[in-house]
Amino acid sequence: MSFVYDAGVFVAAERNDRDVWADHRARLELGLIPRTTAPVVAQVSRSPRQVQLRRMLRGCDIVGFAPDDSHEVGALAGKALTSDVVDAHLAIVASRRQATVLTSDVEDLRHLADQLPKPIGIQRV
């Protein structure tokens, strides 16, 4: 099973949410390396003093936004009638890996997921 973290996971980690940290630790102990995207990191990274954010990111694989992704992300955003390319990119990354997205923004991700060729799981943080 594969997991992709949305911004809500990192916001909760910054607030030292015990459940988020316990789930993250359990995944790592099972050898499940969660993924996130570079745009999500940009969305939540505001200061080098975000120690908890950087600590959690050390256990994640960060997927970049490649130039070849641009048209696919734009097309998905267009189909879903949204301008949020960060969420659209995250949904595509999850779809490529048939992963479950952990998010605090379930409705927006479901709206994007409905437009994807491969299904993704969505779980609230």
CATH code: domain of residue 120: 3.40.50.1010
Q: Is the pLDDT of residue 1 over 90?
A: no
Q: Is the pLDDT of residue 125 over 90?
A: yes
Whole-number mean pLDDT of the chain?
97
Model confidence, pTM: 0.95
Domains identified in the chain, total number: 1
60, 61, 65, 69: CA torsion to nearest 10: -130
Q: Which domain holds residue 59?
A: 3-124
DSSP secondary-structure letter at 48? T
d(CA 82, CA 108): 9
Q: What is the pLDDT of residues 61-106, one digit of tens each?
A: 999 999 999 999 999 999 999 999 999 999 999 999 999 999 999 9
